[in-house]
Structure 1
């Protein structure tokens, strides 16, 4: 028996110890099962709407979609997963820890999905050959795993555009042993603000250890919340080709040696708080240098032009002074978009004409003076020319268009340019956008200019001194989207060729001297969404088709000769067109009845409509209003907002949530306010907003695109209002950018603040003094002041508003629980009747906030100290101490002193008077509006 046992042991040893094939086969089975198990765990945790993982069922997992395996040369039949690529497949769910069990994984690509949760720490291992990780464009949260530092072969780490937080682990950059070449931790930049989705929020400083990784070639850390200085150690990376750290909160000086890295091609430092001077020399291979939105000062050194390969140079929004050096003509490609808030006070140097290869030149929002040098016309390759928002004067060089055949956009708005508009611009056959608004151009509109079908984005000639009629050649602009010739001295009739503009979305002919009837063909322009014909001499009946069915999209005020052809359109402004008598002398009483009775009837009918709605609270509101509005369903709103997705939500309150969206087949974004009807007072808020929107029409008040009153999928009441999208957000965002994640980065200039104050004052004057009965907003504050694409202010959110009556027999309106703390007038707490003085108080606080940058509810305002008292104690001799410091960057000391005495002190005086505690001490809205408009006009003329 013992012999048998010995024989079996020997046989086992001979079989397995001397037969490695069997051992390796067993090991192969175990490792393959480990790969399969990790992949199946990964699949189980995902939502797969496209079904890309549906074929993950066969035994040969290396044939599964998105996978690649590798046959081991040392282990018989052992296949391991080395590549997992499922990018851009709409996958959602989390990444399981089991994915870290794939022992031979080298490449992991899951970018452009909707994955959430944390990045598993199990991905990092010293035994794993992981070399390429791309998880960009998801919604991953949490921190960057420190364990990734344990991957000795890692060369690319791309975590762009997620929702990561925490600090950047310094252990990732463990010196010479690291093979990292590319580190991308930035957020994706969208137009306007960056949504929370696809927005990293990494904080802390840039790790000093980053400079120890000599293998790095690309570093991108932009659009986070990084603070502190740029480490000197970054200058030690010998092969660095790109460094992008824009849109953070970095401060201090830039290390001088950083500019001189010989391999550096792209250096983005924009939108931080960096200081110091522009470098005298940069690396010989540098092609792009962005230093915009910082606090760099001093002169632009001429030696910078020695960077012969420089293609992009952005120095906007700094504190630069002096003249552009002549030597800058050596640059091949120059881009200086919006050199805002610089202290450039010189004329444009004629040496700019030496830049024969210049393609983009934008120096807007400065204090440039003098004329536009004729040598600018030598820039034959120029693609974009923007000199807006300066103090340029004189005439535009006559041959500018003839010598700039490649010009795509010309923006000279908001200067003091005179003379006629050059007809030679017609020779710029690629021109798509022309903006000459807010100047002093005179003469007629050149017919040659309009005979240029390339003009498609916009033609803005508003706020000049143009005369004559609109040339019939305008019909050639068949692709034009925006036409604005408002506030000129144009006359004559609207040419019939204007009806050929089939792509037009906005037409503004207001503040001119046009005559005749409003053309019927305007109602046939299918894409027209805004039409302003106000303050002209139009006569006759108002058309009733197309855009004229939406009274919120058409402005006709100031045309006293107009009348309406039916009982609904523009009922609050114009009377019904009188019928022509067939003969005989008309009876004066009959004529009076014909004129007076219809408006009274319509007013009574409108009031009954509103009362029936209040009583029934049914699905359809304001039946006399619904036919003039675009009809949208509950389903339309769901699709427009991605099923009311949190990603689309931009704000919320007790009574409603606000979403951004776009309706199917529409090109414009809209804002949709959905009311929380389960909250007390929400329905009344909706009805009040509807009543205000229905009875108001002013350029500084928000307008509704349409309403929706129906039931949702569960048969619950659903009510929403759709508004135009305001491209520049709210005033609150601009006055307190840090409370909105420093977006927008740029601050309001003094001129913009004065214009916004004038806009809001005009809106209040309209509500208080031009409406019958007067309207009190009751919740005026910066977050309820919206700014459109050209920074025009519009007051919105009328849920707390009240119409007040002077009739002593009418029920008294007392202030209830409404408004916002800090902006509520003191008398609110004492049972006072609602009055326009309540809005005047809120407006005063709003002005103080706008010019100091301090909220009335800041923590410093305790123990009887308020924003009003703080400013009052500093007024007038120490006013500079409490003003927003960013306004002081707008000019030299002489200009600053003049500005303080001529504009800021009078504005602050108005704000202090408006925010007095006692209502009797406050001025009336009409006086406030007149004073602010006077200050605004004086500022524009200075």
Structure 2
């Protein structure tokens, strides 16, 4: 018989076993709840291009699924982290059942819809990271129930409404980041109750009103970012008393007032002061020099006056001082003394004082600035005297700009020691003497501007060593002697070679043919003699040739007939002879031709540029005759036997012409009657004889295998495009078949035919012909036949997942820049160099086609408008048409108000296209609503120096050409600090082109030039 103690022990053991089993069962149920919640999360994901969720299956425990981390003791989900996986869909409310969740990290995906309010039940949650998605709706107010929350980051979404005041109840919140959304209203004063707050980022929204005084109670605040809003008024003094402040960023608002004189004592830990593009005025506080940690002083585009404090030299860590575009230095003879003090800043890298009122000579002590200096920007002041010799010790300089001042004296011979220089701008000054031969040591130089000075003697042959030089401008000086043949070996020259308005002599050497990629050649207003060399015809990229005001002789060589892209040609005021070549009238791009004051003879051509009196000048050639009536040349002589015979012939001609006209009228009446009774099959004849052929419906039906769906390569609002093969030579073609039933399609068809028959450019789609016929069922059929572009449209490359194509989004920065240049070149031709300026009116990625080499060709001229006149180089020429159609997101805002078509409307579309190419976001993205646009999105990122946060992430990878080092995937990672300036520059151009007001937009010539400069600078 067991003892009483034994029985009690057994009962106790059974009880413990029961408790253990109950606990085990409970844990098992909890784990199953987590597993089912994760599966619910997975079910809401509709896009998974990287196949991330494939690991979420029953073959492994859910704690081993990608992105899932469980606690070691309870096997409950503690972290859900799937950043930058391109996941799309909505966020399942079932995530609230993961009750042990501490971290949600879904940044950098494409989640849409609202942020589930149920997240408020996750009382253990500490980090909520949902930035860089497309979440919409309001910020859930009940996030305030997650009392353990330390970090909320919702940056770069599409959230609307006001900032919830309930967030002020989070006692442990350290970081609140809700920038780059569509939030409205003011900054809630109750945010000042979050005493734990260290980082507050609410920039790039639509917040208005003042900065609340209550923020001055955030005694732990180190990071305040409220830039790019509509904030106004003055900054409360209480905010300037936050002694923990490290980053103070309020740029791009409407803030006014002065910076407090004691700011240096109030912000003893400040590293970056970013207050640019506001209305601040008064003096720059000298107390900033008390902040030993200060790295950036960024004050551009305000109304600061007076002096730059000399005390800044006490800031040991200062790296950048940017005070450009203010009112500094006016009337102060020693306004540049602050430069002397900066010599104490051993980490100093960049000085920008451009576009102020600084005058007088540069202090010699500028040469004592840090050896780390990489940018010195002094342009646009009234500086004078000589450049201190010691400036040549800055061997790390990559950009030196002293343009548009009044510097004089010789260019320093030791300039050649700056072997890292890529850009040297010394134009618009009074430099004299020789161009030092040591400039030839600057082998990294890609742009050299010495124009607009009084430099003399010869051009140094050592410039031929600058094998990366892409732009060379030595114009408007007093240079003499022959141009060294070594310079004509610079095949790197692509932008311009400009030696105009000097006293250069000699002949043009045969070596000029080495400029095979050059766009502009300007040797005008010199003393060159001899003939134009045949080798110039090898420079196939030439668009602008200016050789006027020299002593050139001989005839225009026939080899120039190969310069099909020529847009401007000026050979005036030379001694050229012979007849005017007929091939000049075949140059489709030629918009300006000046052959005046030479000795040309014979009959002038009548077609092409010669048919436009405003685009051609033949004055001063006494032996020319004929041509169009507008040229006002004498009639060419006709040899006859007698006046009487001439009169007889004239009567005969009149009789014949009258008969022909009468017959033609009768024929027209007959045809009209016939067409009134039945439809006749006809082929449209294009007005330009340059179109190679016309096509019948049967030809195109055969070429496209009966317009098979297998050959369908694209559809649009008014047409479908098929790939085809011509039977005679198996040449691939694209057949654009118009939807004849659509209203107004005939006008669109005729507009496109008219536009395409009058233009030709290497970056415009090549048109082979057209067809106006009836199909096999007797219905009207209209089509345009184009060269086939094997790489499809730019839209397919930018958004491949939306088009169900096999194209991989793999356009690197260089390729995108090249495409941007191609499109700009096409627009520049349409706007500036056509005989009649043309506005495209429907520029978008879908209308940019790519050939085998990814060269871009602008297409679809169905909405194009001929403009009445050309006001200036690329001015506001307008048509009389209103009601411009186009594509949503790309149409200039003034068109919505009934304004007629203009070239500035195309520039707006180009700006949006640029921003889409480099951000990867359409202008119609869900992110852009409630007032936010792609333009504002990019503009705000620029203001906050956050460009790398908005660009397409693939742009941070650059594919090699096979010759350089690369990883196994043939890619190399480009350091962000190297890529960022390039991206910022191109985004800045996109923003400048897409301004709301037409008069504020950059013109297409400037945009094209700037994009080319960016490509040439960084690549």
| One of 280, 292, 296 as aligned partner of 1:274 | 280
Please list, as runs of the form range in 1=range in 2, the aligned pairs for 1:363-762 lying within 5 A after superposition.
363-453=377-467, 455-456=468-469, 458-474=471-487, 477-485=490-498, 487-489=500-502, 490-500=504-514, 504=517, 506-509=519-522, 511-513=524-526, 528=541, 530-533=543-546, 535=548, 537=552, 539-543=555-559, 548-552=563-567, 555=569, 558=572, 563-564=581-582, 568-569=586-587, 622=688, 624=690, 680=744, 681-687=747-753, 689-690=755-756, 693=759, 705-707=763-765
1:203 equivalent to 2:199? Answer no
- In structure 1, the partner of 2:867 is 801
| One of 128, 131, 138 as aligned partner of 2:124 | 128
- Once the two structures are TM-superposed, the CA of residue 284 in structure 1 deviates from its matched residue by 0.8
| In structure 2, distance between residues paired with 1:716 and 1:27 | 71
| In structure 2, distance between residues paired with 1:225 and 1:296 | 21
Deviation sequence 1:202-248 (CA, Å, 0-9, x none): 42355655554455444444445444444444445454433333334
| In structure 1, distance between residues paired with 2:441 and 2:75 | 66
1:293 equivalent to 2:301? Answer yes
- Once the two structures are TM-superposed, the CA of residue 65 in structure 1 deviates from its matched residue by 2.0
- In structure 1, the partner of 2:364 is 350
- Once the two structures are TM-superposed, the CA of residue 506 in structure 1 deviates from its matched residue by 3.2
| In structure 1, distance between residues paired with 2:509 and 2:360 | 43
Decide whether the 8 Å contact of 2:497 with 2:522 is kept in 1: yes
Q: SS in structure 2 opposite 1:309? A: coil
| In structure 2, distance between residues paired with 1:719 and 1:289 | 59
- Once the two structures are TM-superposed, the CA of residue 127 in structure 1 deviates from its matched residue by 0.5
| In structure 1, distance between residues paired with 2:883 and 2:311 | 61
- Once the two structures are TM-superposed, the CA of residue 306 in structure 1 deviates from its matched residue by 1.0
- Once the two structures are TM-superposed, the CA of residue 19 in structure 1 deviates from its matched residue by 0.9
The number of equivalent residue pairs is 659
Unaligned runs of 5+ in 2: 1-10, 182-201, 612-625, 630-680, 694-703, 705-712, 720-736, 772-780, 795-827, 842-860, 871-878, 886-891, 904-1019
Decide whether the 8 Å contact of 1:437 with 1:460 is kept in 2: yes
- Once the two structures are TM-superposed, the CA of residue 52 in structure 1 deviates from its matched residue by 1.9
- In structure 1, the partner of 2:342 is 328
TM-score (norm 1): 0.58
| In structure 2, distance between residues paired with 1:505 and 1:816 | 38
1:309 equivalent to 2:309? Answer no
| In structure 2, distance between residues paired with 1:108 and 1:393 | 60
Judged with a 3 Å threshold, the aligned counterparts in structure 2 of structure 1 residues 84 and 34 are, in CA distance, closer, same or farther, namely closer
- In structure 2, the partner of 1:185 is 179
Decide whether the 8 Å contact of 1:365 with 1:390 is kept in 2: yes
| In structure 2, distance between residues paired with 1:165 and 1:347 | 54
1:22 equivalent to 2:51? Answer no
| In structure 1, distance between residues paired with 2:104 and 2:351 | 38
Q: SS in structure 2 opposite 1:540? A: coil
Judged with a 3 Å threshold, the aligned counterparts in structure 2 of structure 1 residues 50 and 343 are, in CA distance, closer, same or farther, namely same
| In structure 1, distance between residues paired with 2:739 and 2:374 | 49
- Once the two structures are TM-superposed, the CA of residue 167 in structure 1 deviates from its matched residue by 5.0
| In structure 2, distance between residues paired with 1:98 and 1:324 | 64
Q: SS in structure 2 opposite 1:401? A: helix
| In structure 1, distance between residues paired with 2:63 and 2:295 | 44
Decide whether the 8 Å contact of 1:531 with 1:555 is kept in 2: yes
- Once the two structures are TM-superposed, the CA of residue 597 in structure 1 deviates from its matched residue by 10
Q: SS in structure 2 opposite 1:128? A: coil
Unaligned runs of 5+ in 1: 1-10, 188-197, 578-587, 605-614, 628-633, 635-641, 646-653, 657-673, 695-702, 726-759, 781-795, 805-813, 830-837, 844-942
Decide whether the 8 Å contact of 2:123 with 2:148 is kept in 1: no
Q: SS in structure 2 opposite 1:112? A: coil
Judged with a 3 Å threshold, the aligned counterparts in structure 2 of structure 1 residues 130 and 380 are, in CA distance, closer, same or farther, namely same
- In structure 1, the partner of 2:5 is none
| One of 235, 243, 248 as aligned partner of 2:248 | 243
| In structure 1, distance between residues paired with 2:28 and 2:378 | 67
Q: SS in structure 2 opposite 1:543? A: helix
Q: SS in structure 2 opposite 1:431? A: coil
- Once the two structures are TM-superposed, the CA of residue 799 in structure 1 deviates from its matched residue by 1.0
Decide whether the 8 Å contact of 1:348 with 1:370 is kept in 2: yes
Please list, as runs of the form range in 1=range in 2, the aligned pairs for 1:33-48 lying within 5 A after superposition.
33-34=33-34, 36-48=36-48
| One of 235, 259, 270 as aligned partner of 1:264 | 270
Decide whether the 8 Å contact of 1:688 with 1:799 is kept in 2: no
Decide whether the 8 Å contact of 1:291 with 1:316 is kept in 2: yes
| In structure 1, distance between residues paired with 2:463 and 2:167 | 59
| In structure 2, distance between residues paired with 1:676 and 1:439 | 60
Structural RMSD (CA): 5.6
| In structure 2, distance between residues paired with 1:353 and 1:303 | 18
Judged with a 3 Å threshold, the aligned counterparts in structure 2 of structure 1 residues 309 and 336 are, in CA distance, closer, same or farther, namely closer
Q: SS in structure 2 opposite 1:83? A: strand
Q: SS in structure 2 opposite 1:706? A: coil
Judged with a 3 Å threshold, the aligned counterparts in structure 2 of structure 1 residues 525 and 779 are, in CA distance, closer, same or farther, namely closer
Find the structure with the greater CA-based Rg: 2
Judged with a 3 Å threshold, the aligned counterparts in structure 2 of structure 1 residues 236 and 593 are, in CA distance, closer, same or farther, namely closer
TM-score (norm 2): 0.54
| One of 80, 85, 90 as aligned partner of 1:84 | 80
- Once the two structures are TM-superposed, the CA of residue 253 in structure 1 deviates from its matched residue by 3.1
Decide whether the 8 Å contact of 2:44 with 2:90 is kept in 1: no
- Once the two structures are TM-superposed, the CA of residue 23 in structure 1 deviates from its matched residue by 4.0
| In structure 2, distance between residues paired with 1:219 and 1:676 | 56
Decide whether the 8 Å contact of 1:524 with 1:545 is kept in 2: no
Q: SS in structure 1 opposite 2:55? A: coil
Decide whether the 8 Å contact of 1:462 with 1:484 is kept in 2: no
| In structure 2, distance between residues paired with 1:573 and 1:621 | 19
- Once the two structures are TM-superposed, the CA of residue 427 in structure 1 deviates from its matched residue by 3.3
- In structure 2, the partner of 1:56 is 56
- Once the two structures are TM-superposed, the CA of residue 291 in structure 1 deviates from its matched residue by 1.3
- Once the two structures are TM-superposed, the CA of residue 482 in structure 1 deviates from its matched residue by 2.7
- Once the two structures are TM-superposed, the CA of residue 305 in structure 1 deviates from its matched residue by 1.5
Decide whether the 8 Å contact of 2:542 with 2:565 is kept in 1: no
| In structure 1, distance between residues paired with 2:222 and 2:103 | 19
| In structure 2, distance between residues paired with 1:84 and 1:25 | 25
| In structure 2, distance between residues paired with 1:405 and 1:240 | 40
- Once the two structures are TM-superposed, the CA of residue 798 in structure 1 deviates from its matched residue by 7.2
Deviation sequence 1:256-303 (CA, Å, 0-9, x none): 555442332223222333333212122111112211122222211111
1:110 equivalent to 2:106? Answer yes
Judged with a 3 Å threshold, the aligned counterparts in structure 2 of structure 1 residues 419 and 241 are, in CA distance, closer, same or farther, namely same
- In structure 2, the partner of 1:936 is none
| In structure 2, distance between residues paired with 1:168 and 1:127 | 21
